Amino acid sequence: MATYVLIPGAGGQAWYWHRLVPELRARGHDVVAVDLPASDESAGLQAYADTVMEAIGDRTDLILVAQSMGGLTAPLVCDRRPVDLLVMLNAMVPVSGESGGEWWANTGQAQAMADYAAQEGRAISAGFDAKDTFFHDVPPDVTAEAFSQEEPPQSATPFAEPWPLKEWPRTPTVFLQGRDDRFFPLDFQRRVVQERLGIPVDDMPGGHLLALSQPKELAERLETYRSSL
């Protein structure tokens, strides 16, 4: 049995993982879906890592799964305690000294997103359309549930501070990307991950919110990674 530790992206809601959690538990694993202090203006990345550490407690046999912005936090946890595997899921890959706010321009994310939209024949609206960008492949009932909730706040504090590690932790790391992600397109992630981590990017069907759109398939991919340890 493994312990899957699920670290959400911006907004910090454990709810994001609610369709994946039962899939992993049905396969016999312990699962910890973490709520991050996203609304706390005083909380930076170290506080996010503290929150994950507290949620883990004394559990062992850890597999961390980091969604999107969660990629800034998960390596900090790996630097503090033994982790069997880090799965970066449609994630931001930081480098030492770069803030999360600088990541966007440094990687060219906005241009990559625009280029991918043009490639698909889509127009990007003047205002950011979360439903079109994030939920285009999420089932309508799940999308309705998400939008029935108050929009989770996300403090700018974690994006303002330099990423603190000198180098990537020695934890075995894999990268899994939704090939239909409109926010972080696949080709963009392949370039960034190769430049920053020097590892390949695996892909699967689905957009940015794979745990909502493809929970069973995602669980199967995670189990494949686990069985190869």
Q: Residue 36 above 80 pLDDT?
A: yes
CA proximity to 103, closest of 163, 55, 148: 163
Confidence of residue 212 (pLDDT cuts 50, 70, 90): very high
The string of pLDDT tens digits covering residues 146-160 is 999 988 899 999 999
pLDDT range class, residue 35, cuts 50, 70, 90 = very high
Q: What is the pLDDT of residue 208?
A: 98
pLDDT reported for residue 229? 92
State the average pLDDT over residues 16-33: 98
- What confidence tens digit (pLDDT) does each residue in 94-149 have? 999 999 999 999 999 999 999 999 999 998 777 788 999 999 999 999 999 999 99
CA 129 to chain centre: 19
pLDDT of 21 strictly over 90: yes
Cα separation, 165 vs 76, in Å, equals 7
pLDDT of residue 128: 82
Q: What percent of the chain has pLDDT over 70?
A: 100
Q: Where are the domains of the chain?
A: 3-227
- What is the per-residue pLDDT for 151? 85
Q: Is the pLDDT of residue 93 over 80?
A: yes
CATH number belonging to domain 3-227 = 3.40.50.1820
What is the structure's pLDDT at 24? 98
pLDDT tens, position by position, 47-81: 999 999 999 999 999 999 999 999 999 999 999 99
Query: 218: which 2 tokens?
Result: 């995602």
Task: Calculate the CA dihedral of residues 44, 40, 192, 224 and round it to 10 degrees.
Answer: 100
Instruction: State pLDDT tens for residues 165-179.
Output: 999 999 999 999 999
